[in-house]
Structure formats: C-alpha cells, structure tokens
Amino acid sequence: EATGRVLATRLYEMTDDRGMKDMLAFLIARDTMHQNQWMAVLEELGGPAAHPIPNSFPQEMENGDVNYTFIATGIDDAPMPQGRYTSGPSIDGKGTFRVEQARPFGDVPVLATPDPTAHAQTEQMLGAAGDKGFLEKAADVISGKL
C-alpha cells in the first residue's frame, strides 16, 4: 500500500491535468484507507504478539537467515538503508532486524521463448536460422559471455 501511495503522490505532483489529479487524489485516499485497514486488522488479530500472521505455521520452519533481514536492492554503491526495520529488536520480539545487500541466490535462469499469443516483442522471439533471440542474448550478457 505504501508503494502505491508513493507512486500516486509523485505522479500527482508531476501532472497539471485536472482529470488525472482527480483520479490520483482518489487513489491516494484509498491507500490511506488501506493502510489504516491493515493496521486495524493487525491490531484486531492481537497486535505484535500475534505476529507473524498466520502464526499457525511453525516459525522454526522459516528460512531463519532472512526472516528478520531487510534485503536492500540499491545499486551503484547506494548507502544501506537505516531505520527501525534494519537494526534492533523485531516488532514481534522474536528476532533482531538486520540489513544486507541483495545478491543472486541461484544460477542464471534459462528462460523459455515467450508464447506467441502473449504478443512479446519480435526481438524476444527466437531468431531465424539459429540466430540467438533476445532472451539468449540477455542471458549471455548476464552470465558475462558477451
């Protein structure tokens, strides 16, 4: 909800179109309601003591390496975010917040050719006569082959 609200408020400031501002003002107001709605539901379910929701899944079965880790996605040596959510005790009192830089966790994906009925860009389809298509070229760039 917060991301949608940020986007809508930024777009609101960027336009002079009255109709667009009217629509964005509506969306911003709805995000206000949704944020309050989520807070009310969390409170209704027992507040921090009821976390995580649902609490019926055994927390020891979670991946304990990331359940209280904020994964920063900044690039170009962006400073690591600092805030209540990146250090100190977790809101539920069951862990300690920390922050780490995002990193790949798997191998370079091998993507299938898009379904023609999805109407992807022609460049994304396999090239003729064995030429590499867009996806294969992108995989080569990502893996360092180009």
What rounded mean pLDDT belongs to the chain? 86
Nearest to 108 by CA among 78, 82, 142, 61: 142
Identify which of 107, 67, 70 has the alpha carbon closest to the alpha carbon of residue 85: 70
What does the pLDDT look like over 5-39, one tens digit per residue? 899 999 999 999 999 999 999 999 999 999 989 88
User: Mind listing the pLDDT tens digit for each residue in 67-84?
Assistant: 999 999 988 888 999 999
Q: Give, rounded to a whole angstrom, the gap between the first and last alpha carbons of the chain.
A: 40
pLDDT band at residue 45, thresholds of 50, 70 and 90?
confident
For the chain, give every domain's residue range: 1-44, 51-103, 108-146
Give the C-alpha separation, 91 to 86, whole Å: 11
Q: Is the pLDDT of residue 128 over 60?
A: no
- 46-58 pLDDT per residue, tens: 888 888 878 888 8
